[in-house]
Structure 1
Amino acid sequence: MNIHSHKFTLDGHAGKMQCLLDLPDSAPRGIALVAHPHPLYGGTMENKVAQTLARTFVTLGYAAARFNFRGVGESEGVHDEGRGEVDDMEIMYNHMVEQYPGLPVALTGFSFGTFVQAQFALRLAEQGRPAERLALVGTAAGKWAMPAVPQDTILIHGELDDTIFLKDVFEWARPLDIPVAVIPGADHFFHRKLGHIKNLVVQLWRRDN
């Protein structure tokens, strides 16, 4: 599948947001919003896991949009510990549903991006426009106060993650009764394991939807 990428800019609450849109060959069947890892530790929308998630959703027929959080790349502002990042995600959401009206919206992210997307999912639900589904990789349990997420959320974690410990993810997911797909031998950044992320998301999304 060919992926058509387009750069664009949005006006965020703290200034310009540097954005990237990946499109499938045919008309998209949905929208996917991708959130990258922590900006103070080198996280950008070009992070390999964030890229993998965007391309995975394009494979599933979605228009995949991502942006650099505040203070990253050409995005203006300073890191806001997740609060402003959720506000900016809503700006991206509103832009995408205006461009592609009537399509379901999936939320996906990696590491700190899972914290942003879980909070944003709560906001959308409270507004009466819930996300279609979430796919979270390297979920930030134990690092940030992860809220509850819907039971159909896809959770993927590396067995050897020493940044966000697997046991913390289990403790968070256990009362929610959500399975965690564990990739054996994978570290936090899934070096040489990115293909497993794509395969798992595609299989679980298509099988369950």
Structure 2
Amino acid sequence: MPEIIFNGPEGRLEGRYVQKATEGKPMAMILHPLPQLGGNMNNPVTYQLYQTFLNRGFTVLRFNFRGVGKSQGTFDHGIGELSDAASALDWLQSFNPDAKQCWLAGHSFGAWIGMQLLMRRPEINGFISISPPANLHDFSFLAPCPSSGLIVHGDEDKIVDTDSVGKMVERLQSQKGIEITHKNISGANHFYSDHMDVLDKTVNDYLDERLAVPESQAAEAVPDPEEDDTQDA
């Protein structure tokens, strides 16, 4: 069932969801960029992350925060959106109680929301944070960060500066018990225009290490029925 509607804190939330038939399959949830700048679950980076986890055999959910697409409610500057993400994870877990792993991935605003959710949900095993807006929001709540993960940033990003992300990474890497991998993509802007292939390889290389699954054993790609979604903002 690729297109879904489920209950959130302020009404319906719209999502796209693929559930793997085999019990115990790992699951992942993908969070999109800032709605006020056109971010939605069909954002190219969000969509690519969704496909990446699908191709690895994960059950995957991406959804629109409140006030975006068919999701009800209005933008709440992150407070309500964090509640949306918590409700979405509850929904995902209700259909996958035996999932072996739980991953979270987000782009920009979605990365900020995702890392807040990470602090509240100990069942999350790993995260992928694309262009976390460290110059726009305080990430000091990650003390300590409860899970290892990947942080990616483009060195031509004009929205999130390199220094702020670097300082955040340094703080996280100094913590014990976790491993934070930081990758800078040369020439990439905030939206990874013309660098989506490099971003895809960066994420997949990291997942190869964390999941320790040989390429020959990786799950076959699952085509997403709504291909036209990739054209949206």
Q: TM-score, normalised by structure 2?
A: 0.81
Q: Distance in 1 between matches of 2:133 and 2:18?
A: 25
Q: Quote the Cα distance in structure 1 between the aligned partners of 2:21 and 2:52.
A: 14
Q: Bigger CA drift: 142-151 or 28-37?
A: 142-151
Q: 1:84 aligns with which of 80, 86, 109?
A: 80
The Cα offsets for residues 126-161 of structure 1, whole Å up to 9 and x where unpaired, read as: xxxx30100010111111122323462101111100
- Alignment equivalent of 1:132, drawn from 117, 125, 128: 125
8 Å contact from structure 1 (residues 22, 54) kept in 2: no
| Counterpart secondary structure, 1:77 | coil
**TM-score, L = length of structure 1:** 0.90
Task: Report sequence identity in percent.
Answer: 26
CA positional deviation for 1:25: 8.5
Give the match for residue 181 of structure 1: 183
1:101 to 89, 92, 97: 97
The structure number with the bigger radius of gyration is: 2
Q: Which residue of structure 2 lines up, in the alignment, with residue 50 of structure 1?
A: 46
Q: How many angstroms does 1:119 deviate by? A: 0.5
Deviation of 1:40 after TM superposition, in Å, equals 0.7
* 56 and 80 in structure 1: CA distance in 2 versus 1, 3 angstrom threshold: same
2:207 to 191, 205, 208: 205
Over aligned residues, Cα RMSD in angstroms? Answer: 1.7
Distance 2:97 2:104 in 1: 16
**1:202 Cα deviation from its structure 2 partner:** 1.5
Q: Report the Cα distance in structure 1 between the residues aligned to 2:171 and 2:199, rounded to whole angstroms.
A: 24
SS of aligned partner of 2:121 = helix
* Mapped contact 2:28–2:104 kept (Cα < 8 A): yes
Q: 1:36 touches 1:44 (CA, 8 Å); kept in 2?
A: yes
C-alpha displacement at 1:29, in angstroms? 2.5
Q: Which amino acid aligns with 1:186?
A: A
Is the counterpart of residue 35 in structure 1 residue 35 in structure 2?
no
Determine the structure 1 residue equivalent to 2:110: 113
| CA distance in structure 2 between the aligned counterparts of 1:17 and 1:166, rounded to whole angstroms | 33
Q: 1:34 to 1:28 in 2, by over 3 A?
A: farther
- 5+ unaligned residues in a row in structure 1: which ranges? none
Match of 1:141 in 2: 134
Counterpart of 2:217?
none
Code of the aligned partner of 1:205: L
Misfit runs of 4+, over 3 Å: 22-28
Aligned with 1:180: secondary structure? strand
Aligned length: 201
- Choose between structure 1 and 2 for higher RCO, CA contacts under 8 A separated by at least 6 residues: 2
**Is contact 1:151-1:176 (8 Å) kept?**
no
What residue in structure 2 maps to residue 190 of structure 1?
Answer: 192
C-alpha displacement of 1:28: 7.2
Q: Distance in 1 between matches of 2:124 and 2:147?
A: 13
Offset of 1:208 from its aligned partner? 2.6
Q: Partners of 1:11 and 1:186 in 2: how far apart?
A: 37
Query: Cα offset for 1:204?
Result: 1.0
